[in-house]
Amino acid sequence: MIELELIQINEYELSDCQRSQILSLLQDCFSDYFEERIFFKQMSRERLLAYSDGLLIGHLGLEHRAIKIGDQFASIFGIVDLCVKEENRRQGVATELLRTVEGKAVANDINFCLLFADEHKLYQNSGYTLFENDCIWFGIDECKSIGMIERRLTDCMMAKRISGDIPWDETHTVDLLGHLF
């Protein structure tokens, strides 16, 4: 693994230089999604930035919120837009970003880390489970609120239990109590 410097920073504290670096990384990794903003649906609360030799090579956005799983509230960290520069992939950068978030979750008694991904291998190798649940969330499309969405998610929602004994199975409806990240 390459030597990393990880910086955790609130969204509102990002410098113009950091915003520019994040935008460039997101555009490289998600070419169809990001135009001139550093978020897809909504800004994250925090960012975890991975630097090597002073260059931004990895990133994730971090949400903290309550959700409902069935009739129980759960505290979650939502992992958003995890990405690593192509030339730095398969060197442990993404795994280290995930471990850092999970360590913070353990220290703060967070129940689950939750993410939505098209590619599952990295996350499954890190202990995440792909779930198929009926879900409710507040829809945002093309930077416009579109109302409540209720739909079964079958191929993208992944979670990892961090603490507690709140049951999560596919019979429960998951209410994100906000937007899909």
Question: Comparing 56 with 38, which gets the higher pLDDT?
Answer: 56
pLDDT of residue 35: 73
Q: Could you tell me the pLDDT band of residue 152, with boundaries at 50, 70 and 90?
A: very high
pLDDT of residue 38: 81
- Under CATH, domain 5-179 is a member of which superfamily? Gcn5-related N-acetyltransferase (GNAT) (3.40.630.30)
Q: Tell whether the model's pLDDT for residue 169 goes beyond 90.
A: no
Residue with tokens 């002073």: 54
Evaluate whether 82 touches 101 at the Cβ level (below 8 Å): no
pLDDT tens digit sequence for 39-50: 888 889 999 999
pLDDT tens digit sequence for 75-129: 999 999 999 999 999 999 999 999 999 999 999 999 999 999 999 999 999 999 9
Taking CA atoms, 176 is separated from 8, 34, 57, 92, in Å, by 24, 23, 30, 30
Handedness of CA 37, 100, 65, 70 (dihedral sign): positive
Terminal Cα distance for the chain, rounded: 29
Residue with tokens 């703060």: 108
Q: Could you tell me the pLDDT band of residue 148, with boundaries at 50, 70 and 90?
A: very high
State what percent of residues in the chain have pLDDT above 70.
98
Token pair, residue 116, equals 């939505």
